[in-house]
Amino acid sequence: MSKDTHQNLPGYSTRWLGLLFIGISLLVISLDNTILNVALPSISNDLGASASDLQWIVDAYVLVFAALLLTMGSFGDKIGRKRALQFGLVMFGLGSLWAALSTSTEMLIAARAFLGIGGATIMPATLSIISATFPREERSQAIAVWAAIFGLGVGVGPVVGGLLLEHFEWNAVFFVNLPVVAVALLGGAFFLADSKDEHAPKPDIIGVLLSVPGLFALIYGIIEAGMKDWTDPHVLTAFGISAVLLTIFTWWESRAPNPMLPLHFFKNMSFTGANIAMTFIMFSMFGSIFFLSQYLQTIQGYSALDAGLRMVPMAVSLAVVSVSSARIAKRLGTKRTVALGIMIAAGGLLFMSQMYEVDTAYSTVVVGQIILASGMGFAMSPATDSIMGSVPVNKAGVGSAMNDTTRQLGGALGIAVLGTIMNGRYLDGIEALKAALPQLRPDMFEGISSSIQAAHKIASNPQVPESFANTIINTADQAFVAGMNDAMLFGAAVMLINALLVILILPSRVRAPREEAPAQGAHEHDLPGVAAAGD
């Protein structure tokens, strides 16, 4: 692509400064994924929220966010990506204010669902603006920065939350979003240019009506399975509804004159292979963070702030490696870089499953974090670049939405599947208390069985004899760690299978979409996303 052609790209002259404000927009979402976790005990005490209420405070956001991503990606392509980004930021700011001022669990759950709408509008817009603004030779580096910011936000969320809770009430984790949103809005207004699909078709209303409840039912089923059981009637019903709706959605999209998700994208293995890779990368990332925060706080006794600080190496490793992964991918190719990253991440999970004990030294814990995060950093940005480079620029919103949907589905699946494995082993371990402490009241045993946090709370009750308390804590801690190790081992196996799939189906270089095939007389390397001959 010539320099003159570069100048025609929207926002080209301010692209790197614009990327800063795209990153700030993304940061507010990635922080929100983890910053809330450290505030849940305070919310429970202040609003009287039950364990089930706390689950829905977290999940209401995930459900709405993931279910609306495809719809909002198409929405941004039609009305303009910058306009969609600003619209989403305003909604996110209003939702954060609503959440911060909530006086009941029902009010907070509703506010979190509203935040999901804002997040679903922001996230696909960030990636699609990058695809429309940066020429192909710079796009992979810009996406690497995007992936690094996302990973950094997820990693530092617990630290920021811990710092806020040291000095303020729980609602500070929502108030902190407001200045970030304001900066992103102001900077984006000056340094981002708008772009859209000039030939945007009419909205695919039927596709929306099928995809949103279909994805909602799928994610609801995954989350409920993690809380209950995979054969629970509610879970099976949700999966059944999802299967029916998404099957009809697939049928409709293959025949609709203006589909919201053109199914021919999946014929390009750069798109399909990278989406599969991203699903299971997030599977391991969200599943491991879910266990790690509980392990550090409840088992090893760190405060929320101290535990958050001890997860910083994971965030830093992910961010640093993500930035450098674009250069590595240019040398090794997309296939090898993504597969290598996934195998390193699998090694990290395997290390964690074999080395973590109740009293494991932090120096050992941090090694597992760094290995896992480094592997994910290698894989995430090349996989994302493969997805975005395999769809036409005028459909960047759809590509971005698919990338984000697979992230959310993978994360929800990781927490549900790995959480179910851990809970099963935990309950098996807790059974030993019946023989060790036959005097234990049934209600206490039920509470200990519900969670590791409840076990520690019951053991700290002054009415429980010290010898009983020590037995409860030791048994519960050992059962939790055994369950965590089983889950990590399963995660490592899943990641190895993921690496094999990548090797088999992901092209070495990103294959351009048919819509960007070379015009007569043009050179392949002048066009975005076109692989060199022989790749």
What's residue 528's pLDDT? Answer: 35
Q: CB under 8 Å to 437, separation ≥6 — which residues?
A: 468, 471, 472
Tokens of 334: 């997309």
Tokens 């965590």 — which residue?
484
Please say whether the beta carbons of 282 and 414 come within 8 A: yes
Q: Where are the alpha helices (DSSP H) in 176-263?
A: 177-191, 205-227, 233-253
What is the mean pLDDT, run by run of 10 residues, along the chain of 535 residues? 52 73 83 74 74 71 79 76 89 94 90 90 83 77 77 74 83 90 87 70 78 81 73 90 92 81 79 86 78 81 80 82 81 88 93 87 90 88 82 70 77 78 84 78 79 80 80 88 91 92 85 55 35 34
What's residue 9's pLDDT? Answer: 60
What's residue 431's pLDDT? Answer: 83
Please tell me the distance from the alpha carbon of residue 274 to that of residue 130, in angstroms, as a whole number: 18
Q: Sign of dihedral through CA atoms 335, 283, 390, 185?
A: negative
Please tell me the distance from the alpha carbon of residue 500 to that of residue 507, in angstroms, as a whole number: 13
What's residue 123's pLDDT? Answer: 82
